[in-house]
């Protein structure tokens, strides 16, 4: 949904007012060491499921982590240049998209093109052997998640894992004391009936849903430099030996806990409020928390536009285990994984989480978009720890040094937030309707971290097969005389012409321009998209020819005047839209941020048409054509 500038200004004004009212006060949140954490998880965040590192196959850990390091060393992780509130910004995390061949994933006005993962059936020559092996390892992880994410039985492995996770915090003061309980048979996957659908993701693929506008994408200004050598150098110096010295995966990892100071200040007397309650709950809040509860009415009127009556669709404060409707029936079929890499030590600044005091944010509060409705997301987390840095399960600084996921009920200050520490090799699932009713963020740890976020991307209009079928549809109106080679349009009906001109614009601005803006960066790693995009360019040229034929028909004096007027209006609308989009893409390609990128990563303002190209049927300057059509309509 397109948001107007007036609405954006009003949202920013309200957000500033809310932050001012909060002042130094913090909305409560619970970590694993806080009283009531397990109850809060089970009642208000039940769509969140954790799978500990020790419950995944050891061999899979080794292959996946080696694959991530291979991709990083090859330079495949790149920061995206995305659009946030009408300005281009760099993502803080570096990314690369893997998935089914010919699939794309679009977020923040940027389309990512997959490097295809390599299966036993899909063995190509688009990548070198090492990169191909890395892609296959991540496909194996994807297969594991597809079969595992929907498993749910009464007393299933995820509930058991949750209890063990909390029990380890409450009863074990150190990592060493917690080994037996988490190596039990109960940590292995088990069948599990029930729904598994949700609509989530993890690493900031926030397509226009910057509800709090505290996401990491929006903090980077035009002054920020492009991908820096500092980050590359830091990674090489700290983790360069990991490829050669890949150690056997730990079978037991400690459970980091919440901040002791935070726990003492806030949560010992928290009392759960039933989901859907509209009463202001002040029981158990200390003197500092009471003013926060009074902000309920301020927050309740400040929903983001795309969350259409979310509180009416489900109970407030809990994710629905059995949604009445689902758009993702059956087992989850993850079609892409968005891989992310970030090293906080190489970042100049990270924003503090503003509402709960959870710590530094790598990815801010958001809902995720461009996913199949109510589909789940699976996330694998791998942290590159320095050898001398252990992770303790005791409360204190170690917890803040661990990567965590934060969750909150969207625009609800009664239900405390929740933070979940992640050990290297842990996985978690966001299931059911959690993404619709909640928001999540990623809280930075001390070490560099990879994540593999597996999604069911909504790509009904985002696959190569789709856009190729659209090209065939448009070109079906072009006829070529086999003897003379003369071209003509089969139909001059305005509705037909309008549809084909819309396809023309879609091919140029949703595919060709997107590919040459950033998608072409990956051709040095994988050549899969080179030939399909060449064919799309050829189809686009044919559509340019069709536009020329339409212009000739409009200017032909022998045509009935009424028909010419309708055709001229159709053409004028299409060309005006095309001119505006072309200027937008020129501006993006030549922006100050784009100019900071190295040549191999810089956006390309590819001249599909050129003044000195005799094969092109239309002049470069669309303004001239538009003036001719406008003059013709004026004379009519």
**270-291 pLDDT, tens per residue?**
444 444 343 333 333 333 344 4
Question: In this structure, what token pair is assigned to residue 82?
Answer: 């995305």
Task: Tell me the average pLDDT across 102-112.
Answer: 93
| Residues found in the chain | 636
pLDDT for the residue 608: 58
Task: Tell me the average pLDDT across 295-303.
Answer: 40
Phi, psi of 387 (to 5 degrees): -60, -30
pLDDT for the residue 119: 79
Nearest one of 462, 456, 355 to 150, comparing CA atoms: 456
pLDDT tens figures, 429-454: 999 889 888 999 999 999 999 999 99
pLDDT for the residue 110: 93
Task: Tell me the average pLDDT across 68-93.
Answer: 92
Q: Identify whether the C-beta of residue 319 lies closer than 8 Å to the C-beta of residue 47.
A: yes
Task: Judge whether residue 566 has pLDDT over 60.
Answer: yes
pLDDT for the residue 169: 56
- Sequence-ordered list of residues with C-beta below 8 angstroms from that of 208, at least 6 positions apart, any chain: 1, 3, 108, 306, 369
Under the banding of pLDDT at 50, 70 and 90, the label for residue 631 is: confident
Task: Judge whether residue 422 has pLDDT over 80.
Answer: yes
pLDDT for the residue 563: 81
Q: Identify whether the C-beta of residue 539 lies closer than 8 Å to the C-beta of residue 589.
A: no
| 3-state SS, residue 412 | coil
Task: Tell me the average pLDDT across 600-608.
Answer: 79
pLDDT tens figures, 320-350: 434 333 355 567 799 999 999 999 988 878 8
pLDDT for the residue 313: 33
Under the banding of pLDDT at 50, 70 and 90, the label for residue 246 is: very low
Task: Judge whether residue 467 has pLDDT over 90.
Answer: yes
Query: How many CA atoms, within 13 angstroms, populate the side-chain half-sphere of residue 185?
Result: 0
Under the banding of pLDDT at 50, 70 and 90, the label for residue 114 is: very high
Residue 599, classified by CB atoms within 10 Å of its CB into exposed (0-12), middle (13-18) or buried (19+), is exposed
pLDDT for the residue 161: 59
Q: How far apart are CA 69 and CA 54, in angstroms?
A: 21
pLDDT for the residue 184: 35
pLDDT for the residue 471: 98
Task: Judge whether residue 74 has pLDDT over 90.
Answer: yes
Residue 3, classified by CB atoms within 10 Å of its CB into exposed (0-12), middle (13-18) or buried (19+), is middle
Query: How many CA atoms, within 13 angstroms, populate the side-chain half-sphere of residue 424?
Result: 27
Under the banding of pLDDT at 50, 70 and 90, the label for residue 10 is: confident
Locate tokens 């509130």: which residue?
Answer: 85
More confident residue, 518 or 313: 518
Radius of gyration, alpha carbons of the chain: 27
Locate tokens 């949750």: which residue?
Answer: 162
Q: Which residues pair with 110 in a beta bridge?
A: 107
pLDDT for the residue 171: 53
pLDDT for the residue 158: 52
Question: In this structure, what token pair is assigned to residue 135?
Answer: 């892609």
The b/e string for 453-486 (b: 16+ C-beta within 10 A; e otherwise) is: bbbbbbbeebbbebbbebbeebeebbeeeeeeee
Q: How far apart are CA 239 and CA 237, in angstroms?
A: 6
Q: Which residues pair with 338 in a beta bridge?
A: 97, 453
Q: Identify whether the C-beta of residue 343 lies closer than 8 Å to the C-beta of residue 234.
A: yes
Under the banding of pLDDT at 50, 70 and 90, the label for residue 414 is: confident
Under the banding of pLDDT at 50, 70 and 90, the label for residue 366 is: confident
Task: Judge whether residue 400 has pLDDT over 90.
Answer: no
| 3-state SS, residue 234 | helix
Under the banding of pLDDT at 50, 70 and 90, the label for residue 160 is: low
Under the banding of pLDDT at 50, 70 and 90, the label for residue 458 is: very high
**Sheet-wide strand order for 361-366:** 29-30, 417-421, 404-409, 438-443, 361-366
pLDDT for the residue 103: 96
Measured at the alpha carbon of residue 45, what is the angle toward residues 456 and 204, in degrees to the nearest 5? 45
pLDDT for the residue 474: 97
Tell me the angle at which helices 561-589 and 530-555 cross, rounded to the nearest 10 degrees.
140
More confident residue, 628 or 20: 628
Q: Which helix (H) or strand (E) holds 30?
A: strand 29-30
Q: How far apart are CA 456 and CA 334, in angstroms?
A: 5
How would you classify the pairing of strands 115-116 and 87-99? Answer: parallel
Locate tokens 């505006």: which residue?
Answer: 580
Task: Judge whether residue 123 has pLDDT over 50.
Answer: yes
Under the banding of pLDDT at 50, 70 and 90, the label for residue 192 is: very low
Question: In this structure, what token pair is assigned to residue 295?
Answer: 């902000």
Q: How far apart are CA 511 and CA 11, in angstroms?
A: 32
Q: Identify whether the C-beta of residue 250 lies closer than 8 Å to the C-beta of residue 58.
A: no
Under the banding of pLDDT at 50, 70 and 90, the label for residue 380 is: very high
pLDDT for the residue 386: 52
Q: pTM, whole model, 2 decimals? A: 0.75
Task: Tell me the average pLDDT across 170-193.
Answer: 38
Task: Judge whether residue 573 has pLDDT over 70.
Answer: yes
Percent pLDDT > 70 in the chain is: 64
Nearest one of 212, 225, 191, 258 to 28, comparing CA atoms: 258
Nearest one of 408, 417, 419, 422 to 451, comparing CA atoms: 422
- Sequence-ordered list of residues with C-beta below 8 angstroms from that of 49, at least 6 positions apart, any chain: 149, 158, 161, 162, 428, 429, 431
- Sequence-ordered list of residues with C-beta below 8 angstroms from that of 499, at least 6 positions apart, any chain: 474
Summarize the chain as % helix, strand, coil (round to 5): 40, 15, 45
Locate tokens 């809280």: which residue?
Answer: 443
pLDDT for the residue 26: 85
Could you count the other beta carbons within 10 Å of the beta carbon of residue 594?
20
Q: Identify whether the C-beta of residue 108 lies closer than 8 Å to the C-beta of residue 207.
A: yes
Task: Tell me the average pLDDT across 146-173.
Answer: 60
Under the banding of pLDDT at 50, 70 and 90, the label for residue 496 is: very high
Q: Which residues pair with 457 in a beta bridge?
A: 371
pLDDT for the residue 300: 37
Under the banding of pLDDT at 50, 70 and 90, the label for residue 559 is: confident
Query: In the predicted model, what is the mean pLDDT of the chain?
Result: 74
Nearest one of 118, 120, 140, 138 to 128, comparing CA atoms: 118
Task: Judge whether residue 546 has pLDDT over 80.
Answer: yes
How far is residue 339 from each of residues 56, 64, 88, 449, 453, measured CA to CA in Å? 19, 11, 21, 11, 6
Q: How far apart are CA 593 and CA 112, in angstroms?
A: 19
Task: Tell me the average pLDDT across 125-154.
Answer: 86
Task: Judge whether residue 18 has pLDDT over 90.
Answer: no
Q: How far apart are CA 72 and CA 235, in angstroms?
A: 9
Q: How far apart are the first and last CA of the chain?
A: 37
Task: Tell me the average pLDDT across 87-103.
Answer: 93
Task: Judge whether residue 463 has pLDDT over 80.
Answer: yes
More confident residue, 287 or 173: 173
Q: How far apart are CA 586 and CA 605, in angstroms?
A: 6
Highest mean pLDDT among 123-132, 546-555, 600-609, 617-626: 546-555
pLDDT for the residue 411: 76
How far is residue 460 from each of residues 108, 200, 467, 492, 575, measured CA to CA in Å? 18, 18, 10, 29, 26
């Amino acid at each position: 949904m397109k948001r107007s500038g007036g609405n954006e200004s009003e949202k920013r004004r309200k957000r500033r007012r809310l932050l001012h009212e909060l002042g130094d006060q913090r909305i409560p949140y619970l970590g694993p060491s806080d009283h009531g954490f397990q109850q809060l998880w089970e009642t208000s965040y039940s769509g969140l499921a954790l799978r500990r590192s020790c419950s995944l196959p050891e061999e899979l850990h080794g292959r996946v982590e080696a694959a991530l390091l291979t991709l990083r060393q090859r330079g495949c992780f790149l920061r995206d240049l995305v659009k946030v509130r009408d300005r281009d910004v760099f993502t803080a995390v570096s990314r690369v998209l893997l998935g089914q061949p010919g699939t794309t994933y679009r977020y923040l006005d940027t389309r990512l093109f997959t490097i295809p993962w390599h299966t036993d059936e899909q063995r190509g020559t688009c990548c070198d052997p090492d990169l191909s092996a890395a892609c296959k390892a991540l496909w194996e992880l994807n297969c594991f998640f597809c079969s595992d994410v929907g498993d749910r039985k009464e007393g299933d492995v995820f509930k058991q894992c949750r209890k063990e996770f909390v029990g380890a915090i409450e009863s074990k003061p150190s990592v060493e004391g917690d080994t037996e309980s988490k190596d039990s048979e109960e940590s292995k996957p088990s069948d599990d009936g029930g729904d598994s659908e949700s609509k989530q993701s993890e690493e900031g693929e926030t397509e226009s849903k910057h509800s709090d506008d505290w996401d990491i994408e929006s903090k980077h200004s035009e002054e920020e430099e492009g991908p820096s050598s500092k980050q590359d150098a830091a990674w090489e110096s700290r983790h360069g030996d990991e490829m050669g010295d890949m150690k056997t995966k730990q079978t037991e990892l400690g459970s980091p806990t919440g901040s002791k100071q935070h726990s003492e200040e806030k949560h010992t007397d928290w009392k759960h409020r039933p989901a859907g309650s509209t009463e202001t709950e002040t029981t158990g809040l200390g003197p500092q928390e009471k003013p926060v509860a009074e902000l309920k009415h301020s927050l309740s009127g400040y929903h983001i536009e795309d969350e259409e009556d979310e509180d009416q669709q489900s109970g407030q404060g809990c994710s629905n285990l059995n949604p009445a409707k689902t758009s993702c029936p059956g087992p989850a079929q993850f079609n892409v994984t968005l891989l992310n890499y970030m090293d906080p030590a190489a970042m100049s600044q990270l924003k503090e989480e503003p509402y709960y005091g959870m710590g530094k944010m790598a990815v801010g509060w958001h809902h995720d978009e461009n996913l199949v409705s109510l589909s789940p997301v699976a996330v694998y987390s791998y942290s590159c720890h320095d050898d001398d840095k252990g992770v303790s399960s005791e409360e204190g600084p170690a917890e803040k040094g661990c990567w965590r996921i934060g969750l909150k009920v969207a625009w609800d200050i009664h239900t405390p937030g929740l933070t979940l520490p992640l050990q290297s090799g842990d996985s978690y699932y966001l299931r059911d309707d959690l993404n619709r009713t909640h928001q999540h963020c990623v809280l930075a740890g001390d070490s560099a971290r990879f994540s593999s976020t597996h999604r069911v991307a909504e790509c009904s209009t985002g696959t190569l097969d789709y856009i190729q079928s659209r090209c065939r549809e448009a070109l079906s109106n072009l006829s070529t005389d086999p003897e003379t080679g003369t071209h003509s349009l089969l139909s001059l009906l305005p509705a037909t012409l309008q549809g084909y001109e819309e396809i023309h614009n879609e091919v140029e601005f949703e595919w060709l321009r997107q590919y040459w803006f950033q998608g072409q960066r990956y051709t040095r790693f994988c050549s899969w998209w080179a030939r399909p995009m060449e064919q799309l360019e050829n189809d686009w040229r044919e559509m340019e020819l069709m536009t020329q034929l339409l212009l000739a028909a409009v200017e032909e004096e022998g045509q009935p005047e009424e028909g010419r007027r309708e055709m001229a209006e159709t053409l004028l609308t299409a060309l005006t839209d095309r001119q505006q989009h072309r200027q937008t893409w020129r501006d993006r390609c030549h922006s100050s941020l784009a100019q900071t990128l190295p040549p191999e990563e810089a956006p390309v303002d590819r001249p599909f048409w050129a003044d000195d190209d005799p094969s092109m049927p239309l002049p470069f300057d669309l303004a001239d054509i538009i003036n001719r059509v406008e003059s013709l309509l004026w004379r009519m």
